[in-house]
Structure 1
Amino acid sequence: MTDLSHLPGRTADRLRPAGRTSEEPVARPRRRLRLPFSPWHLLLAPLALLFAVPLIWLGLSSVMSDAEINRFPPALWPSGIDLDGYRYVLGNAMFPRWFANSLIVSAVAVVSNLLLGTLGGYAFARMRFGGSRVLLVLMLATMAIPFQLTMIPTFLVMRKLGLTDTLGALIVPSLVTPFAVFLLRQFFLSLPRELEEAAWIDGCSRLRVLFQIVVPLSRPALSTVAVLTFLTTWNDLSWPLIALNHEANYTLQLGLTTFRGQHHTQWSAVMAGNVITVLPVLLAFLAAQKTFVRSITSTGLKG
């Protein structure tokens, strides 16, 4: 800014910008109050705590005695740490077998959904064949059918295949789901075709383009499919309850129901078993949280 102090008063006032005088103070910009976090956190934090209350209560109940759990009004805080429930669960000879069964079924379901869902989603996204639209609509329509209407036909199919009362009865119906195919199809549609066309010009086959170019770019969607498939398979109780009879083939969710008797229920063992059951699910979600959110936000409803 030019220094006008050496000029006479009237001359200096004429040379200054309009609307300002030599006596007028310079207005300072007001400082806005900035929070160290987003204002939305003031609303989301109480909601998150509300949704976390059942999980917190589960953890507290797992270290209570049966008398404290059955007391009325219920105790909000354990008087001491009682690990009898964990000792009962971990001392059960069948518990490691149930854990292994759930892990096998969930792992196979995740791998098969990633592989078959990728192939099916890419076919619907990039390949045009007769009846593709109709087939896609029919596949999506199966998502609206409740499980209660399909469990009896599924059981009859498994019996014809000789898979009842085996882990195969849990694995085969979960090899691929319409949701996995649809979610991956939507993500593939958001990828630019130019990358695939450049690879085709270089002589790459369609499968090579898929697994070397498209799949590495689809990690957020693949992580979402893996997490949701693992959650669904790991927490499933109704279908194992129908398909399995022998205790050695029980999954973890079905095995925990044996802790409930007709006249007495060992609630501390049930709570401890549920805590052990929830831990793999919680760790799987936390490990893929960022990619899960990125996939949901980037996968639209592009047709």
Structure 2
Amino acid sequence: MATRPVAPRRKVNYRSIQLCWQYLVIVVAALIAFFPIYWILISSLLNARSAADVVPHFWPDWQWSNYTRAWQLEPWIQFFLNSIFIATCTAVLAVLTSLLAGYAFGTMKFPGRNLLFLLVLGLIMIPGEATLIPSYLIVSTLGWIDTYQAQIIPYAVSISGIFLIRQFFLSLPPSLWEAAQLDGCSRFGFLWRVAAPLARPAIAVVALQVFIGSWNAFLWPYLVTSSDAHRPIEVGLQAFMSGEGGTDPTGLAAAAAFTTLPVLLVFLLAQRQFIEGISAGSTKG
């Protein structure tokens, strides 16, 4: 009697299963990260009755008047202009100092270079709260209380920026500098004409990190500012909470929404440069 042929077993595609799990984890992580923003947006569009309800609401009531009411309670335009000016100046200075220091540590050889670089990296271990009092005393002695420079100068150097740009310069082939020397290029000429243009992805990362960090800064600007003329947006939001906005949950959510969305949009527009810069800076240790 002839036996029936056995059907071949289907091979399990473990690669597809692994990709499905990876995508599932990414989607869940994205939802968790996005949920606070979604909750703020929903809360900013609820009416007073829905906001006071015990049962949470996951769909807005489209009360756009909450934004109008919140906008009229504080000089938000002044706060926005202050934050833009402070964050931009801080980012420009941090990029400049990171570029110069990273170039020196990454391409130039001098006695004690490695030790000095380790000392610079060691500053990351010092918590910012530990330097608040001495920094405040210095700023007060200089007469910088309630000024722009008190919020810009202390953050004009980025240790992580120095590290990232130094790592990028370490990956540059020495032949570039040798060719530049043959053309009569100086160290600074090589930096501005060759090295800096090649380091644009790393520079973009440093600028973005410092800009967002300065925009979101609260404790230090809160300590050194006392008037609306120099308060950034985060301190202005705290002033809004301390005033009439503290008893207005929907207005407070609206204020939190229009103070957060600008920097979120900046990050989304610059995310490609951010990823390219991080990848470029990690090519060589």
TM-score normalised over the length of structure 1: 0.83
2:27 to 45, 53, 57: 45
Structure 2 CA distance for aligned equivalents of residues 233 and 248 of structure 1: 17
The answer to whether the 8 A contact 1:94-1:248 is kept is no
1:270 to 242, 245, 252: 252
Structure 2 CA distance for aligned equivalents of residues 105 and 257 of structure 1: 18
Percent identical among aligned pairs is: 35
1:231-278 Cα deviation digits (max 9, x unpaired): 110001111111111232211101111222479522222211222122
Structure 2 CA distance for aligned equivalents of residues 92 and 248 of structure 1: 16
- CA distance 1:171–1:224, shift in 2 (3 Å): same
The answer to whether the 8 A contact 1:188-1:214 is kept is yes
- CA distance 1:67–1:253, shift in 2 (3 Å): farther
Structure 2 CA distance for aligned equivalents of residues 248 and 92 of structure 1: 16
Question: 1:73 and 2:20 equivalent?
Answer: no
Deviation at 1:155, TM superposition (A): 0.5
Q: Which residue of 2 aligns with 1:59?
A: 41
The answer to whether the 8 A contact 2:78-2:228 is kept is no
TM-score normalised over the length of structure 2: 0.88
Gaps of 5+ in 1: 1-26
Write out the 4+ residue segments of structure 1 that deviate beyond 4 Å after TM superposition. 32-35
Q: Which residue of 1 aligns with 2:270?
A: 288
Question: 1:160 and 2:166 equivalent?
Answer: no
The answer to whether the 8 A contact 1:259-1:269 is kept is no
1:92-111 Cα deviation digits (max 9, x unpaired): 45111011000000000111
- CA distance 1:66–1:168, shift in 2 (3 Å): farther
The answer to whether the 8 A contact 2:222-2:235 is kept is yes
1:49-86 Cα deviation digits (max 9, x unpaired): 121111111111111134322321332222x2112321
Question: 1:99 and 2:80 equivalent?
Answer: yes
Structure 1 CA distance for aligned equivalents of residues 70 and 176 of structure 2: 53
The answer to whether the 8 A contact 2:123-2:159 is kept is yes
Structure 1 CA distance for aligned equivalents of residues 56 and 255 of structure 2: 20
Q: Which residue of 2 aligns with 1:205?
A: 186
Q: Which residue of 2 aligns with 1:113?
A: 94
Deviation at 1:302, TM superposition (A): 4.2
* One-letter amino acid matched to 2:226: N
Structure 2 CA distance for aligned equivalents of residues 41 and 239 of structure 1: 40
The answer to whether the 8 A contact 2:46-2:63 is kept is yes
1:184-223 Cα deviation digits (max 9, x unpaired): 1111111212112211111111111111111111121111
Deviation at 1:299, TM superposition (A): 2.1
> Quick one: higher RCO (CA 8 Å, sep 6+), 1 or 2?
2
Q: Which residue of 1 aligns with 2:214?
A: 233
Structure 1 CA distance for aligned equivalents of residues 192 and 109 of structure 2: 19
Structure 1 CA distance for aligned equivalents of residues 179 and 39 of structure 2: 55
Structure 2 CA distance for aligned equivalents of residues 261 and 67 of structure 1: 22
Structure 1 CA distance for aligned equivalents of residues 179 and 48 of structure 2: 66
Gaps of 5+ in 2: 1-7
* One-letter amino acid matched to 1:47: A
* One-letter amino acid matched to 1:68: S
The answer to whether the 8 A contact 2:70-2:254 is kept is yes
Structure (1/2) with the larger helix percentage: 2
Q: Which residue of 1 aligns with 2:232?
A: 251
* Larger Rg computed on CA atoms: 1
- CA distance 1:233–1:186, shift in 2 (3 Å): same
Q: Which residue of 1 aligns with 2:165?
A: 184
